[in-house]
Structure 1
Amino acid sequence: MGLPCVLEAFTSIFEIGSISNKCCDELVVLGKVCHSVLVKRTLENPLFKDLSPATIIAKSIQTWNNCLGSIDSPSPST
């Protein structure tokens, strides 16, 4: 996963933001297990001790499900 997409995914989970379809594709290729472990490991970092794990996990699941939905549905033609 490229750094720009890592930042998009991070922002959509740990802050307020969205993730593009391109980055969703990269996230899904990464895999759900890897995605979940990265979120869990980030939550273990003392820099993020003030965040609510339940909220972050919920946002992580929402981001993952949104990405799966964006891949399953065809993109509008441009």
Structure 2
Amino acid sequence: MANSTLLFALAATVLALAAFSAQAHKPHKHHKQPPSSPAGAALPPEPYPGFYADAERCLSKLTEECGPEIFRGIFRDHDAISNKCCVELVALGRRCHRKILKATLTLPEVPKREKKEILRRDAKVWSQCVLVSDDLKHGHHLSPSL
């Protein structure tokens, strides 16, 4: 479980990761309960009061399908993001997306040496998803994923 939590540590905080892994097989589309941190996990101090609550609100807007998929696309460079999840990411908004990413990067499980590479991949994913979203809005047909 710890390894899968680390694999799912974007678009997400420890709070989000616990929700994704615990509720991955439930039939509802969005998270009904706020995520909770795994036993024994300590979150770093908030950059400002309410930061984690804001990140949770942002995470609650992602479906259980797309949250982990977006995360893998950013944190594991070779994983593709479907057009559907790209549209969901862009609809989430850059501000919410950056908040989730910032919360994730503050986790001690994310090595400092990898943060620069993660930020590079994040910028690439965001740009590609904006293009996909714009193309789909204008009726262009695309392959199913990036």
Per the TM superposition, whether the score is higher than 0.5 is: yes
Query: Cα deviations across residues 7-65 of structure 1 (Å, max 9, x unaligned)?
Result: 11000101130110000111011001111111111011112135511111111111111
Moved more, 46-55 or 20-29: 46-55
Q: Secondary structure at the match of 2:109?
A: helix
Any runs of at least 4 consecutive aligned residues in structure 1 with deviations exceeding 3 A, and if so which? Answer: none
Please give the TM-score of this superposition, normalised by the length of structure 2.
Answer: 0.49
Identical pairs, percent: 34
Which blocks of at least 5 consecutive residues in structure 1 are unaligned? none
Please give the TM-score of this superposition, normalised by the length of structure 1.
Answer: 0.87
Whether 1:17 aligns to 2:79 is: yes
Matched ranges for 1:7-46 at <5 A: 7-15=68-76, 16-46=78-108
Of 50, 57, 67, 1:6 maps to: 67
Pair member with larger Rg: 2
Which blocks of at least 5 consecutive residues in structure 2 are unaligned? 1-61
User: Highest relative contact order (Cα 8 Å, sep 6+), 1 or 2?
Assistant: 1
Q: How many residues align?
A: 76
